[in-house]
Structure 1
Amino acid sequence: MSGGGETTVLWRPAGPRELDLIRESGWRRWPPISLDRLYFFPILSEDFAIGGARDWNSSGPGVRYVTRFRVETGFLRRYSTRVFGGSAAPMLWVPTKDMDEFNAHIVGLIEVVHEIR
C-alpha cells in the first residue's frame, strides 16, 4: 500500500455482505467484483453516494452503508470520470480487472460514514 502525496476522497454505497468483506480486509480493500460487471464505480460526491445507498441499492428492506476512502490522486488520473445516466454526479470508471492495483493505491482505511435503514 502506498502512502504519501495528494489523495482524492471517494465515496461508495455498500450493502451488508460487501461491508463484511471490507471488514475482513482490515478496512483496506474493496472485494473482488464479479467479472460480468465491467467497472467499479467510486463516486466523487457524498450526496450522490447517499442517494445511491437510499435508492439504487434498495433491493428490499435492510441496511445499506455509505463508505468514504482516499486514493492517490496521481493514480486516479488514468481513469475517466463520467456521469451515470441523467445524474450530475461524476464517478470514476475503474475496470474490474484493475481492482487489485486500485486497492493498492488506497491510502488509509475505508470508513463507514452513513448507515441508511
Structure 2
Amino acid sequence: MILIIESDYKNFPPRLEWQPIFYPVLDKDYASEIAEKWNTRDQSGNYLGFVTQFEVKEDEVSKYPAENVGAKNHNELWVPAEKLSEFNQAIIGKINVIKVFVGDDFKQSENTEIEGLISELRIKRNDK
C-alpha cells in the first residue's frame, strides 16, 4: 500500500521476482474476503488488508479475460507482470481505498497516510 501511496494512488507496484501475475479481482466481496482472510494474517503486510477500487480503460481490460478461481464471485484478471506498466497507464483517475481490515497482530504504522486510512476505513472483524 505504501508503494501505491508513493505513486499518488496511480500505479500498482511492480511484481516481485516470485510474482509472475498481477491479479486484480472483479468483485468487492471477493476482494474483501482476500483482504480479511489472507492479508490480515500476513506479517509482511503488517497484518493489514486493503480493498481498492479503480477504473481501467476497456481496451486494456479486454486483453485479459476474466478467470474464475473458485466460487461464483471469485473472478479476477490475470495480468502478466511484464504487462503491469501498460495496465497502470490505462488506469483512469486514481486507485481508491474503500476498506481496510486490521489483523490481530497489527503494529501501528509509522506512515501517517496508512494510519489515516485505518482511522477512516477500518473494518472490524465482526463489523463487515
TM-score range, shorter chain: 0.7 to 0.9
Structure showing the higher helix proportion among its residues: 2
Question: Which residue number corresponds to residue 59 of structure 1?
Answer: 42
When the two structures are superposed, what TM-score results if normalisation uses the length of structure 1? 0.78
TM-score, normalised to structure 2, is 0.71
Structure 2 portions without partners, runs of 5+: 103-128
CA distance in 2, matches of 1:34, 1:59: 16
1:83, distance to aligned residue in structure 2 (A): 1.4
Hey, what does 1:113 align to over in structure 2?
98
Tell me the C-alpha RMSD between the 2 structures: 1.4
Q: CA deviation at 1:56?
A: 2.1
| Greater relative contact order (CA < 8 Å, ≥ 6 in sequence) | 1
Percent of pairs identical after alignment? Answer: 32
Matches within 5 A, 1:25-104: 25-57=7-39, 58-60=41-43, 62-84=47-69, 86-88=70-72, 89-104=74-89
Is contact 2:35–2:48 with CA below 8 Å preserved after alignment?
no
Larger radius of gyration: 2
- Provide the aligned length of Structure 1 versus Structure 2: 98
Secondary structure of 1:32's counterpart equals coil
Structure 1: runs of 5+ lacking an equivalent: 1-18
Structure with greater strand percent: 1
